[in-house]
Structure 1
Amino acid sequence: MTGANGATGAGEPGHERVRRSYDAVAGEYLARIGDELDGKPLDRALIGALVEQAGEGAVVADLGCGPGHVAAWIAGRAEAPRVVGVDLSPAMVALGRERHPEAEFREGDLLRLPARDGEFDAAVALYSLIHLAPGELAPALAEIRRTLRPGGRLLVSFHIGAEVRNMTEWWGHEVDVDFHFLRPPDVAEALRAAGFGIEAELVRGPYPHEAETRRCCLLARREDGQLA
């Protein structure tokens, strides 16, 4: 579940820093995290609920799809949705295409998604908003809303807090990527301002194999005519 965007920092723009960082760790990321949903029953339940609500034959987007493991899990559901994975990292997109031909993969940015207006019936953005600069959250949510049909649902997840952690080494690779922790009320308010209604909120602690952070999942629905 990799980020599809990045914060702007001194020197190299944040989006390019995040792209290069995830390109550097793509293979290791797949080896370590490619089966992560096996140990995340609550996350599976929420993703499954979103897919079920989207309906049979739906088109579901995985925004910040990494090597495609979540997209593949969604594609394997009984509802058999069409799945489109989008990621900023060309290396991640290449892994998705190689390993999961049952899904489609596109290279793209959360601020400029490679998708038509209303193309998706539902979308997940799992730990991808955390690479956005504070001023980028609102336009990213507006862009996601653009790609969802009226009534389409969005599931977002993020680490809870108010800090920014910069990582310069990741599994032996040199990287430069910021992880923005977010407050659930702030994200919920940003979703409402972008034209979404909140349908469910889940806050949980880490599973044993995860980093020791508290996490939030918000399930939202596109509501037309209610922009703040």
Structure 2
Amino acid sequence: MALGARFNELFERWAEEYDSAVSGGHPEYREVFEGYAEILKTVVNELALPPGSTILEFGPGTGNLSRLLVAAGYRVIGVEPSAAMRAQAAAKVPELELVEGHFLSVPDSVPTVDGIVSTWAFHHLTDEEKDRALADMTRLLRPGGKIVFADTVFVDEQAREAFQKEAEDRGFLELAEDLRREFYPVIGRLEESFRKAGFLVQFRRMNRYVWLMSATIA
């Protein structure tokens, strides 16, 4: 599947329901988004950059994290592939500077930045694409910059398979298909991706599914 189709297909359909889902409105995804508001706040706090810093957000979706970043005094540039999501984010966060693109297609108009953030989006990339994206981020980050991501990550392959089986056993067929279809990483391979790109990364578990990743140039 071409990258554009892969990035857009789900979120063009899900744009109207996304805020409800992250707030617990989708029973199958309640554990995936457990503590959603606190996770977003943690991403902002983990940046710990001076007000006025420029932050690049990949996949801002409907603008929930963007709103917190703007409130913290940051200039925020959102790179979002979905037109439906961009429309919602623009309405919710007028200060957000939105451009069309994705992890592997950043417009030339985007300047170097002090921080890069993303939540529940990096898993759309294969492992090899994650390698490429992180290597590109080294060129986007200014000296002293930081990456902070939050996304579903598994401890190892056995854990990933166990979560898939658990979803099937609970009758969570949409979640089970999601876990099979997407490219959810395991910590060891993800740590390798950051290391190959020249980053030091730390992981912190936020709920059963989601881990916080905080990285700086080594």
- TM-score range (shorter-chain normalised) is 0.7 to 0.9
| Structure 1 residue 14: Cα displacement | 4.6
Q: Is residue 80–residue 101 contact of structure 2 (8 Å, CA) maintained in 1?
A: yes
Q: CA deviation at 1:119?
A: 1.7
What is the alpha-carbon distance in structure 2 between the residues aligned to residue 149 and residue 48 of structure 1? 19
> Does 1:88 find its partner at 2:81?
yes
Q: 1:54-73, aligned counterparts within 5 Å?
A: 54-73=49-68
Within a 5 Å distance, the mapping from 1:3-152 to structure 2 comes to: 8=1, 13-33=2-22, 39-50=36-47, 52=48, 54-77=49-72, 80-115=73-108, 119-152=112-145
Amino acid at match of 2:145: G
Question: Cα deviations across residues 97-134 of structure 1 (Å, max 9, x unaligned)?
Answer: 12210211111021121255762100112121101122
Q: Kindly report structure 1 stretches of 4+ aligned residues shifted beyond 4 Å.
A: 34-39, 115-118
Calculate percent identity across the aligned residue pairs.
23
Q: Secondary structure, in 3 states, of the residue corresponding to 1:205?
A: coil
Give distance in 2, aligned partners of 1:190 and 1:106. 26
Structure 1, unpaired ranges of 5+: 1-7, 207-213, 224-228
Task: Report the AA paired with residue 219 of structure 1.
Answer: S
Contact 2:123/2:185 (8 A) holds in 1: yes
Give the TM-score taking structure 2 as reference length: 0.76
Cα distance, 1:75–1:131 mapped onto 2, change above 3 Å? same
Name whichever structure is richer in strand by fraction. Answer: 1
TM-score (norm: length of structure 1): 0.73
- In structure 2, relative to structure 1, the CA distance for the partners of 1:178 and 1:114 (3 Å cut) is farther
Give the direction of change, closer, same or farther, for the CA distance of 1:28–1:42 in structure 2 (3 Å limit): closer
Name the structure with the higher helix share: 2
> Taking structure 1 as reference, are residues 204 and 121 closer, same or farther at Cα in structure 2, changes over 3 Å only?
same
- The alignment covers a number of residue pairs equal to 193
Relative distance call for 1:43 and 1:26 in structure 2 (3 A) is closer
CA shift for structure 1 position 48:
1.3
Runs of 5+ unmatched residues, structure 2: 25-32, 165-172
